[in-house]
Amino acid sequence: MSSHTYTRRSRVLAAAAVVVATAATALTPVAASAASGTQPLVANLSTNAGQAALTRTGNGAAFTLSVTNNSDSAQPFHPSVNVTPVGGANPVVPSWIDFNATPISAPGTQIIPSWDSNNKFSGTIAPTDDYSFLTFSVPAHTTYSWAVSLQLKAALPAADTAVKVELANSQNDSVNSAALTLPVNSPTGALFQNFSNLWGTASYSTPFTTDVTVTNNGAAITAPVNPTLWWGNGDGTGAAQANLKLDVLQGTTWTTVSGSNNTWALPGAAGLGQGQSKTYKIRLSLTGFPAGAGPWAAGTLSLRPSTGQFPVDTSITSSLAVNGLN
């Protein structure tokens, strides 16, 4: 090999070494940025000014949710607001919360509610579509915002004295604001109804039997509580499409309760302490049909939404059909 050829090859190898060294130096800040967990989005959920403690069936919470894309390209965003009762008592039904989110400066939005085995509520906020997994696409250097609200209903147990509210993003490309813990007060008379049988059939030969439970998840009630039960159509009136007889178990004896238009005043309770319940064991039997009606009918079994003194959360009802053929 000539000395000229050797010199030229040495220069090529030296130049390649400089390129490799320069590339390694250029990649170092990028690797450090990835390791630090820097995210392109900044998401924030904050209560509006003047937010007071929450109350069942009363004062709720208002928030503003915002997300800012600080990058130079569009980024996906799939947020949810998770609400967990604090106090150790699990709600018996998922109807303990109302949740909503409406866009302020964001595309059309839909809410997909869900609950896990620990009764944590999750309100997924997604673009208006039939698919809950679709994400928002936040343009570069743009902020989207939503007005978010939640209200607690009487089904939230009295032992839960607060709720934890936390913002999440399943895309994991945002820095999210810290969780909030909001206190929950107990207004007098936060009554909630529940049924042991949520559907069934009453006939001439076989009555429909269920427990009707009234629970006070608010402050103690010392005044009498006088619930009214009805079976009928969706507008809350007693149905004329079938005639039913109501019996209530008192001690070991079934006692017929008089009523009209399939509406009955249940035996009153002297009062209900905080977290206490009153359970009525009832049975409904078909006695006949008005002229021109039958032999089938269907309706809703529920308490009236007021006892005359205190409101009743009637979200959970029982669907009762009538069969006049047996």
Q: Which of 33-37, 236-240, 289-293 has the highest mean pLDDT?
A: 289-293
* CB-based contact 286:242 (threshold 8 Å): yes
pLDDT digits (tens, 9 = 90+) for 160-202: 999 999 999 999 999 999 999 999 998 888 999 999 999 999 9
Q: Where is the domain boundary, 166, 185, 204?
A: 185
> pLDDT at position 292, please?
86
* Residue 121 shares a structural domain with residue 222: no
Q: How far apart are CA 94 and CA 262, in angstroms?
A: 29
Listed in sequence order, the residues at least 6 apart from 211 whose beta carbon sits closer than 8 Å to its beta carbon are 195, 196, 197, 279, 280, 281, 282
Token pair belonging to 105: 């400066």
Q: Who has greater pLDDT, 11 or 144?
A: 144
> pLDDT at position 131, please?
73
* Residue 180 shares a structural domain with residue 256: no
pLDDT digits (tens, 9 = 90+) for 211-225: 999 999 999 999 999
* Residue 244 shares a structural domain with residue 113: no
Burial 307-320 (b: 16+ CB within 10 A, else e): beebbbbbbbbbeb
- CATH number at 201 reads 2.60.40.10
Burial 162-195 (b: 16+ CB within 10 A, else e): ebebbbbbeeebbebeeebebebebbebbbbbbb
> pLDDT at position 237, please?
65
* Residue 206 shares a structural domain with residue 117: no
Q: How far apart are CA 128 and CA 184, in angstroms?
A: 32
**Residue 5 domain-assigned (yes or no):** no
Neighbours of 132 (CB within 10 A): 15
- CATH number at 121 reads 2.60.40.1510
Helix H or strand E encompassing 179: none
* Residue 68 shares a structural domain with residue 147: yes
Q: What pTM does this model have?
A: 0.81
> pLDDT at position 182, please?
98
pLDDT digits (tens, 9 = 90+) for 17-74: 443 343 333 333 333 333 335 899 999 999 999 999 999 999 999 999 999 999 999 9
* Residue 207 shares a structural domain with residue 293: yes
> pLDDT at position 309, please?
82
Full domain range(s) for residue 118: 41-185
